[in-house]
A and B are shown apart, each in its own frame.
Chain A
Amino acid sequence: AQSVAQPEDQVNVAEGNPLTVKCTYSVSGNPYLFWYVQYPNRGLQFLLKYITGDNLVKGSYGFEAEFNKSQTSFHLKKPSALVSDSALYFCASAQSGANNLFFGTGTRLTVIP
């Protein structure tokens, strides 16, 4: 079975501090991993993906994520949080040969001024 888990429903961080949003995955075979962000009253927006290659993936708005095979994790990070980063973040996985994504339950990030 394929799944992703986001263990934190809510993450609060002070503006200017580094942020981490956690994600672990369970995928048979090589995982395809994604991060999406959702702002209020909007659809999800693609941030970044890991398919193969470098474990550190850089994406939009200064976000990056690190693929860790031994820990089956794909945590989203940013060195310095902005108030405008406050949103709902979704981790997702896909399986080779399939076209659909499995989404996590989402983590609400609040950046405090």
Chain B
Amino acid sequence: DAGVIQSPRHEVTEMGQEVTLRCKPISGHNSLFWYRQTMMRGLELLIYFNNNVPIDDSGMPEDRFSAKMPNASFSTLKIQPSEPRDSAVYFCASSRTGVNQPQHFGDGTRLSIL
């Protein structure tokens, strides 16, 4: 059973550029989550989807961030334009629907904005 797959694993780009992070959840999982992890702020939930519909995007830092889930097997997190303070590790996680279901995390995308 393949886990959550994220790409790219590493991304280095200059400020002002558009960045797109990709996630393939585990097949059969209805919920998908995007997190950001930094030393200063720890693990932050950015947005989560249930059945491809965004349920809570209150964690999205600002309008430069957007996320989509066009189908059950793919999601993107886009930053445009990117800024140095966006540098972090971004994780995608998926789970079956239900508060008692554990989340399965990808190995993250390490993003560096120069």
Contacts and interface: CB of A to CB of B under 8 A. Distances in A.
Interface of A: 32, 34, 36, 41-46, 49, 51, 90, 94-101, 103, 105-106
Given A100-B45, A103-B42, A106-B43, A43 B99 contact: no
Nearest to A34: B102
Given A44-B91, A90-B43, A100-B56, A32 B105 contact: no
Contacts of A90: 43
Given A42-B108, A99-B55, 12 more contacts: A32-B100, A41-B108, A43-B108, A44-B103, A49-B100, A96-B99, A100-B33, A100-B45, A100-B48, A101-B45, A106-B42, A106-B43
25 contacts: A32-B99, A32-B100, A41-B108, A43-B4, A43-B105, A43-B108, A44-B43, A44-B93, A44-B103, A45-B105, A46-B103, A90-B43, A94-B99, A97-B99, A98-B99, A99-B31, A99-B48, A99-B97, A100-B45, A100-B48, A100-B56, A103-B42, A103-B45, A106-B42, A106-B43
Residue from B48, B98, B105 having most chain A Cβ neighbours under 10 A: B105
B83 interface: no
Q: Which 3 A-B pairs have the closest CB atoms?
A: A43-B105, A46-B102, A94-B99
B86 interface: no
Contacts of A100: 33, 45, 48, 56
Contacts of B4: 43
A92 to B, nearest CB: 9
A99 B50 contact: yes
A45 B3 CA distance: 11
Given A99-B31, A100-B56, A106-B42, A44 B100 contact: no
Interface in B33-75: 33, 42-43, 45, 48, 50, 55-56
B102 A49 contact: yes
Residue from A34, A49, A99 having most chain B Cβ neighbours under 10 A: A99
